[in-house]
Structure 1
C-alpha cells in the first residue's frame, strides 16, 4: 500500500464527473493532434445530449465519382485479376442506400451543423433533392449557354447532370430488396442508368430487375454477415438472379475481399449453380458492358484492345494458374514453372524507347 492508501500497481480511478476530471480531459484534448480533437468534441457533445456513443458515426449518402484509367501504366502484380476497365471517358457515380447510407463517417476536425439523415426515408430524400437540384442546374446551364452568358460551375451538380445525361452510370450501393426497389423508383423518376452494386437480396425481386433490364454487380461473397442487411447473404443468390434473366457481374469490394480472390468467388458461384459460361461473362464482358466499355474490352474480338490472360487450365478451377498476361499486345507477366514464381516486366523496361 502506498502513502495515500492505494494499492501499489492499481489503476488510478477515473473522474467521470467534477471539475478535476473534466479539466484533465480537456488538457489531454489539447495535447492531441488536430485531426483527433474533433472526435473528442463530438463525444463530449453526445454525452451532453444523452446520445449513444456511436450516434455520430455516419457514412456519406453520396459517394464519389470513379474514373477508370489505363492499368498498363503500372507493373502487373496480380495477374489473377481478369476484369479490367480503362476508358478515359468512362466512369460511374456511386451512392448508398440502407444502413451504410444512414451512417456518416466523421471528417477530421470538422463539425457539421446538421447531420445526414439516419433513416431510409431521409436517405432517399437526400438523393431525390440532389437530382432535383441537378435538373435545375442543367436547365440553367443550358439557358446561359444559349444566351452566351457566363455560368458558375458547381462540380457536384455538374457530375449529377452527367448522370442525368447518361454519360455516367449510377452505381447504387444497396443490399436489402426494399432499398433496391427505392433505387429503381428513383432511376425511373429521373431517367438515369442504374446498376445495383452488392444486391444481397436482389434475388427477392429478380423478376422486376429482369423486366426492367437492371444489372447487378453481386458480392462480395467471402465475408461474414457483419450487419443485419447481410443476414440473407448466400452465394446461391447469384445463381437465382442469373436464372431469372438478370445480367450479373461479380465484385470483391476490394479491399473487403482481396481482388486476387475474384476468380475464386466465380468458382464458388459455379459450385452453387451459376452456369459456367455466365460466370465467365460476369468476369469479362458484363462488367465492361455495364460501364459502357464493351467496344474496347471484355471479349477477344478483332478491333478491341490486345489484353489477354492465358491460363494453364480452365480459369474456373482452383488449380488453374495464370501463365501469361498481355496488355496492348505486349507480354507483361510470365509464370516460370521451374522457379515457381512469376516474372513481371517492370515499367521502365516496358516503356523504354
Structure 2
C-alpha cells in the first residue's frame, strides 16, 4: 500500500483538497480526503504541499509507432499500400522500449491512446495503453479502443503520389462509404446465416469493422478543415456509428454546429508551423472557443509531432489563449477519459479508479519550469525525481 499525504489534490471531479491524502491499494485508489489515517503497513510519502493530479491522458497520438532517432526501420505507423486497412492493429507495431515512453511518464503522461497515422482512408485500430512497461500485452487498458479513419489532405497526397484513388475528397468519402456498406452486408449475412454453409467467406477487413458497426468502438476521424469535419459527421450519421473528432483544427470556426452534434473534440497539435494548407487556421484559441460553446474537449500532442511529455505545455498554451485553468487540466485528464469511454478507470482521483497519479513541483499548466516530482502508474512508483 501507498499513502500520499500533505498534497494539494486536484481530483478532477470538481474538488481541490488542500493538505489531502490518498490511500492506494492493489493498484487502485482506495480513499481520498483530508482526514485519512495511514495504515501501519503502508509506505507513507509526504509530498509537502505539492500539486497532485491524475495521470495525464493523450487521447490521440502515435506513441511507439514512429520510434525516436531512427528512420524507416522504426517507422511503423502507415501502411501506404492500400487505402483500406482496418485489419491492422497498433499493438503489433508499438515498441514500448522506445525512449519516448520513459519521457512520457517522466512528464506526467500515464495513458496514451495510440495507433496508425492518417495516410489511409481507414488505417486500423488504436489501443489505450499505460506508458510504463516493456511488453505491450501487459500495458493494454483497452484494445481495440477506436478505428482510425482519415479525411483531407493526407490520403489524397499519399495516393496521388501512387496515381491511384483516392486523389480527391470525393473519393475518400466514397471509399469509406463503400467499405462500410460492404461491412454492413457482411455482418448481416453472418447474423442471418442459419447454418455454417451459409456463412460468408471470411474477410479480415470486414471482421475488423464489425465492432464499429455494433458501436463497440468509435471511428477516430482525422479531420482538420471544417468541411472535412462535417463530412466525417455526415458519414457517421449515415451508418449510425460513433465518432470522435480528432485534430478539429478549424473547430473554432464551427463551434456552435459542433456543440449541437454532441461529439467530443480532441484538439491539436496546435504547436509548430502550419505545414500544410488545411492548418492555415490553426490556433491555441480553438480549445477555448469550443469549450465555451459547450463542446467537450481534449488536447493532444499528436506525438511524435509534439513529444508526449509536452502535453501539459500544450494545455498551458491553451490556457494562455483564454481557456480556463481547470478546463485546461480537464482537457488532459477527465475529458479524454470520458471521450474515449474509459472514465470508469481513468481521469480523476476517486476511489476504485486506477492509481495513476502525478505529483508536480509546481503547476504544470501555469509554470513553464514545473516538472513531475513523482509518477505513479497502477499503484507503482515508476518515476521519482
TM-score normalized by structure 2?
0.65
Compare the two structures and name the one with the higher helix fraction. 1
- Relative to structure 1, is the Cα distance of residues 230 and 248 closer, same or farther in structure 2, using a 3 angstrom cutoff? same
Decide which of 305, 308, 311 is 1:262's aligned counterpart: 311
Report the equivalent of 1:102: 156
SS of the residue aligned with 1:103? helix
Distance 1:67 1:295 in 2: 23
Higher relative contact order (CA 8 A, sep 6+): 2
* Alpha-carbon distance change, 132 to 218 in structure 1, aligned in 2, over 3 angstroms: same
Residues 204/193 of structure 1: CA separation in 2 closer, same or farther (3 Å cut): same
Cα distance, 1:83–1:185 mapped onto 2, change above 3 Å: farther
1:95–1:131 CA distance, 2 compared to 1 (3 A): same
TM-score, with normalisation over the residues of structure 1? 0.71
CA RMSD of aligned residues (A): 2.6
* Structure 1 residues 62 and 301, CA gap change in structure 2 (3 angstroms): farther
* 1:319 paired residue number: 369
The runs of 5 or more residues in structure 2 that have no matched partner are 1-71, 73-79, 112-127, 130-140
1:160 CA drift (Å): 1.6
User: Could you tell me how far 1:76 is from its partner in structure 2?
Assistant: 3.9
Distance 1:137 1:174, change over 3 A: same
Q: Paired residue for 1:82?
A: 109
Residue 334, structure 1, aligned to residue 361, structure 2:
no
State the alpha-carbon separation in 2 of the partners of residues 106 and 201 from structure 1: 24
Name 1:143's counterpart in structure 2. Answer: 192
Q: CA deviation at 1:103?
A: 2.3
Corresponding residue of 2:282: 233
In the TM superposition, 1:202-241 aligns within 5 A as 202-241=251-290
Structure (1/2) with the larger strand percentage: 2
Q: Does the 8 Å contact 2:148/2:221 carry over to 1?
A: yes
* Distance (Å, rounded) in 2 between the aligned partners of 1:239 and 1:322: 25
The number of residue pairs the alignment matches comes to 271
Deviation, 1:246, is 0.6
In 1, the alpha carbon distance for the partners of 2:336 and 2:344 equals 12
Provide closer, same or farther for how the CA distance between residues 88 and 289 of structure 1 changes in structure 2, counting only shifts above 3 A. Answer: same
Q: 2:145 aligns with which of 87, 91, 102?
A: 91
Q: Following the alignment from structure 2 to structure 1, what is the Cα–Cα distance between the partners of residues 90 and 342?
A: 12
Structure ID, larger Rg: 1
Change (3 A) 1:270 1:76: same
Shift of 1:105: 5.9
Q: Which runs of 5+ in 1 are unaligned?
A: 1-34, 36-57, 336-353
